[in-house]
Each structure stands twice: as C-alpha cells, then as structure tokens.
Amino acid sequence: MSFPIRPIAESEWTAYVNVMNEGFGWTAPPGMIERFKAETEFDRTLAVFDGEVMVGTTGVFSLSMAVPGGRLLPVGGVTSVSVLPSHRRRGVLSQMMRRQLADIRERGESVAALYASESGIYGRFGYGRAASQLSFRINKRAAAFVADAPVDPSLRIRVAPPAEVRAELEALFASVVTARPGRYERHAAFWAGNLADDEADQRGMGALRCVLAEDDGGVRGYALFRIKTSWDETGLPEGEVHLYDLEASDPTAYALLWRHLLDRDLATTLRTGSRPVDDPIQALLADSRQLRATWGDELWVRLVEVDRALAARAYAAPLDLVIEVDDDVCPWNAGRWRLTADPSGAECKQVEDEPDLTVPVAALGSAYLGDGQLGPMLGAGLLREHTPGAVRGLATAMSWSPKPWAGRTF
C-alpha cells in the first residue's frame, strides 16, 4: 500500500510524539519531549498518514561525523523511526525508509547512520552494523592500575557543577571529536540533553556530577557521572558510580579521571552503559577480570552514494579492487565500482570490468567506519569472492584504529 508522506509542521508535534510513544511503548516525560523538540529539524521529519491519522514517523539530524582519517563528513543521522502497531506489515516502514534515503541523497549526504531499537530491522534497507559498544561494571576494591600507568604531577582534578563548566566541556569535546570514527559534533541542543538533570534524567541515581582534569594550560579531560548511594544491612557502604561521559585529550588525563572515579568513597562498583570496545581502561587495570563486560551493537551505517562515501575516508593499506555492489533499495548504487586507495587518498569510479568480489551494500556500511564483518560474512556465504584474497584485502584496507564508536544515542 502507498500512504501520503510528508514533513510535519511544528503544530503537529504532539501527534508525532504520540506515534513514537505508542510505537516504542513508552511515555516520555514532558521535559525530555521539549528537549527532543529543540533538537528536531522539522524540515527533515517525515510522517505517514492514513487519512487524517498519523501512523508513522521518522526524522534526520544533520550530523558532522568523523570517518577514518579524521575527516568530518556530512551524515544523515536517522532518528524517531516508529509505526503505529495498528499499521505494522502494511508497508509504512518501507515507504518511509526509501523516501528518507532519497531525501538524504538529495541533501548531498553520502552516508546515513542510526541507532537501531531492533537490530533485525535495518539490514533489509542496506544498513550494516558499523560500531559496537561495551557496557561494564568494575569492582572498585580490586581496581588497581598497572605499575606503569601514566602520571603527570602537573595535572589536578577540579569538581564543578556541570552546567557551570559547559563551555569548557564543549571545547574539550570539540578538540577530540575527530580522533575516533563515529564521533559527531554536538550542537547546543545536544549539549542541553547531555547535561539535563531533571528527576526523570536522574532515575534514582542522584544529581549529575562533573570532574575536570586540568593543568595550568587548561582542561585536558572531563567525566560526567552520577552516584547511587546505598548501604547494606550492616551499615557498610555499597554505592555505585554510574559513568555517562568521559573524554580526554591525552592518556595521562584519561588515566587520572578513571583513577578519580574508581577512588570515590562510599562506592564499591563503577558502571557504565556504553564505552568503545577498545576502551583503554581495559589495559590500565592490573587485573582485567575486574571489568565485567557485556557487548552490544552501537552505530549502524548505510552508504547512500557508494562512490562518494568510499572516496571520503582514509584506508589502512593500499587497495585496487573492483567491487560489485548489490543494492535494491538505492538502485543508483548497484553496479561495479573500482576502489583505489593509497596514503594520498582514495578514488571510486563506476566501471564495467570483471569484479573481484560481490557484496551487498550493507556489508560496505558495516565496514565503513573501520570495524566491519567482511571476513565473517564471507565465511557465512553472504559475500562472493571472485579473486582469491579480495575480501581480506578490502577488510584490511577498511580496518581502523581506534575502533568506531559514536558515544551518544540520537
């Protein structure tokens, strides 16, 4: 079925939110709704209608995202994807996603990215899992660092209310945003969400707290966290430090911030909901088993224009391959592309040469930020290798360190 689809007016905001509340099965608090409204780009929303009733929603954030090599690339950040339960299996989602990809292409963005509420949905629209995350807890009582952990006597910790040092937090983050693929610039409305501290944001874990690592030259790192206080039946403290955001411009400031959090009194455990899979804290701990981790997928990426996207990033090794791309959602991508890369740059052009490998576009999205699954996909029979070693060569060239991680859900 085909339904009318268009951007919403600001006057339709309540209906837009109601569809999301129903589709996700939540009731967003008023303060959170207002912050989300401030972040929303109304001209980049889409709503599907059945008569006068809004039955589907989605939107896009105009992001500047780091790709391998440190370049900030315009990326369409897909958000607010929801369909009323009454209209599932009627083509609403497919219509929205196809229209949205066409709009992203028209905007000149060669890449789309999203966080998937359900990981089984987006592969059929050409998105691949491009970044992973670890959620972990650390036993603070056994969290000694390795003997040669970096120390700088000139560094000190400053405790400050987060809202009062917002400008310093923004400046530090801006200085490190290109260091890891997947990070994206945070505009003012995003920062308002990062520092929000209403009762609904606290979720029983107390006020948002901030510490900064600095020397006489200025701020070199910060951490944002909450402390959930509690005592056992004998009166011994068993509080938890819940880390939300930790950024540093150098390893020494990074180590000092972690040491401070792990040394906080009246707490026995540190927990964090999302950190990179190669977070250096794993190397700093003398006993790595004290970090108990759970893996999860993070960012999903879709190449909207294969040639422009592949030419926009750096590569870890020289490359010259003809890649045949299967893409039935964005047919302009389907075909054979010669990708050549060396330290001076990359080029991707459509050709008629025989392919070295044939891949679904989602496989390229998965590998785009440097942590793809090309090898496992080949082993699973999801890729076709026509030239022996072609997949290994592509996987090596597209790999990157550090691993990708966006760090903030959008």
Q: Is 308 annotated as a binding residue?
A: no
Q: Is 118 annotated as a binding residue?
A: yes
Q: Is 83 annotated as a binding residue?
A: yes
Amino acid 176 reads V
Residues 6+ apart with CB under 8 A from 263: 140
Q: Is 94 annotated as a binding residue?
A: yes
State the sign of the Cα–Cα–Cα–Cα dihedral 101, 378, 182, 355. negative
Q: Which of 36, 125, 315, 410 is catalytic?
A: 410
Q: Is 75 annotated as a binding residue?
A: no
Q: Please give the radius of gyration of the chain, using alpha carbons only, rounded to the nearest integer.
A: 23
Q: Is 132 annotated as a binding residue?
A: no
Q: Is 92 annotated as a binding residue?
A: yes
Question: Would you state the structure tokens that stand for residue 257, as one six-digit string?
Answer: 């911030």
Amino acid 177 reads V
Residue 80 sits at the vertex; the CA angle it makes with 297 and 105, to the nearest 5 degrees, is 85
Sheet holding 335-342, edge to edge: 345-351, 335-342, 319-326, 357-360, 384-385
Q: What are phi and psi of 344, to 5 degrees?
A: -85, -15
Contacts 24+ apart (CB under 8 A), 388-397: 390/321, 390/356, 390/357, 391/357, 393/317, 393/319, 393/321, 394/319, 394/321, 394/323, 394/339, 394/357, 394/367, 395/367, 396/316, 396/317, 397/315, 397/316, 397/317, 397/318, 397/319, 397/341
Angstrom distance (rounded) from CA 368 to CA 302: 9
Q: Is 93 annotated as a binding residue?
A: yes
Angstrom distance (rounded) from CA 58 to CA 45: 6
Please indicate whether residue 225 is annotated as part of the active site. no
Concatenate the DSSP letters of all residues of 79-136 into one string.
Answer: EEEEE-GGGTTTTHHHHHHHHHHHHHHHTT--EEEEE-SSTTSGGGGT-EE--EEEEE
Please indicate whether residue 410 is annotated as part of the active site. yes
Q: Which of 16, 36, 122, 173 is catalytic?
A: 122
Binding residues for acetyl-CoA: 81-83, 89-94, 117-118
- Catalytic residue numbers read 122, 410
- Output the known binding site: 81-83, 89-94, 117-118
